[in-house]
Chain A
Amino acid sequence: MIITKNKPFREILGAVGEIKSLFLLGCGDCATLCKTGGEDELREMSAKLSAEGIEVAGTVIVDAPCHELDTARVMRKHKEEVGKADGILVLTCGAGVQAVGDSCDKPAISGCDSLFIGNSRRHMHFYEKCSACGQCVLNETAGLCPETRCPKALVNGPCGGAVEGACEVDSHNRCVWIEIYERLKKRGQLDDMLKIAAPKDYSQTAKPQRLEGPQEPRE
């Protein structure tokens, strides 16, 4: 899922500017699980905005706002409330904000910062394990992604900076290359580490990417 964090309320007010009436939109999927754009957060935000003298014309949760046609349909369904507002405050990831922005003429104001694709282990604990790099190396790295879990995205072994197994950049993280090494050693495949991984081909993942219709696997 896409992990989000609420922007500071003062920053949101700065973006709202002179707007005096807002429609609020949240996400029933990722932002609900992150507690940044679910029912509770929309209610809290409504109260805070009202306290600042900003009218809340209505609120809605879209199942998955990144689905653009669904979002457009929900916005049409709420056109009366949306019509009373001068802007839409969107408590979702950046994908949702842009889907809302494309569905109406009124400004879509982002209430969240999008952080990463996250795995969750328990309630409100999220971990970045995949960065959608387009050229998955998991089959070569014992199923652990160094592209994401090494701050230097090294694909040819560790940088050598780990202290007692902890990453030099963030000591809360164990060096992923030590974990890869341990798994390969257990499998008797340490020699695999001597294979030189070639530089990545970033031409294949130049932004913005698109995928239209069924695709053939890459050559």
Chain B
Amino acid sequence: MTAGKPDGFQEALENRFTVTVEIPPPRGADPRKNLEIACAVAGKVDGVNVTDNQRGIVRMSAQTFAHLLTDVGCEPILQICCRDRNRLALQSDLLGASALGISNICVMTGDHPRLGDNPGAKAVYDIDAIQLMKLASDFSRGINIHGKPLKKHPSFFMGGVINPFYEPLELELLKVRKKIIAGARFFQTQPFFDMETANAFLEAVKPLDTKILIGVTPLKSAQMVDFLNANVLTKPIPEEIKSRILSAADPAEEGFRIAAEFIDGIREKADGVHLMPIGQISKLPVLLEMIEE
């Protein structure tokens, strides 16, 4: 029903190095600009993550934008977080997503509203990421939340997220194991910036025997390094990478080069990469070309 590369996201992940990208829904009601970016990457990536009010900041409904993506030939990976909806709303959205032909979902807890643009909003978290994963897995097996048969059930290919920089990592990996028990079949990570850290992480998750898409964010400027260190990442960007950005004549170009080198190095070790080009979403096709070379 949906189209990406000919073999689709799930098949790609089972058979070859997979590339997913993150395209957030727009902040306003006009999706055209973001859809143009999607059009430019359609057929060049295996899946497009649609974020769900990421960082607690209001955007167009993820489900709506994911549906629009299918219209332009992208295969969406619908992110669903537990912050904004109770179990009734989440169940009806799962059913609705399936009806719209959305079969890939990525389930997460979600940043607390206090960190976003509606800090006074009530944090829902009626069910958590593990419980929602179990619910979605049960749906896929034709079982409803009460353990009773669900007729005309959806079939989801479900994943989750990992913060590889969480300390203690043993605790994060326990949670990942729990997500696998709850039905997660792939994981997308926060961005890595150097091979050494990525290699150590891939070694640590090897026993979990699951599909890992390593996060990649091209750096644009020294300010971006500082912003990510202060607001997004739980482990700072390595000094060596930072200094390459600082001394580059064109920092954005250097950032793309660093990302492409990194992806080249990870190709044989990870199941794929997940591109999150924060603030450079329109330049995504350039990065994809660099990777292909």
Binding site for B on A (CB under 8 A): 151-165, 168-169, 177-178, 181, 190, 193-194, 196-200, 202
Contacts and interface: CB of A to CB of B under 8 A. Distances in A.
A151 B171 contact: no
Nearest to B83: A152
Contacts of A168: 111-112, 115
Interface residues of B, number: 34
B197 interface: no
Contact of A194 (B162, B170, B178): B178
A160 B127 contact: no
Interface stretch (B23-31, B128-136, B242-250, B267-275): B128-136
B174 A199 contact: no
Given A155-B128, A162-B234, 11 more contacts: A158-B175, A160-B109, A161-B163, A164-B167, A165-B167, A169-B112, A193-B178, A194-B174, A194-B178, A198-B131, A199-B127
Contacts of B168: 178, 181
Contacts, number: 88
Contact of B171 (A157, A163, A169): A157
Nearest to B135: A199
Contacts of B125: 152-154
Interface in B66-100: 82-83, 87
Contacts of B174: 157, 181, 190, 193-194
B177 interface: yes
B172 A160 contact: yes
Q: Which 4 A-B pairs have the closest CB atoms?
A: A156-B130, A160-B163, A157-B175, A159-B109
Nearest to B114: A169
A177 B171 contact: yes
19 contacts: A151-B112, A152-B109, A152-B125, A152-B128, A153-B125, A157-B178, A159-B109, A160-B161, A162-B166, A165-B167, A181-B168, A181-B171, A193-B178, A194-B177, A196-B131, A197-B131, A199-B87, A199-B126, A199-B127
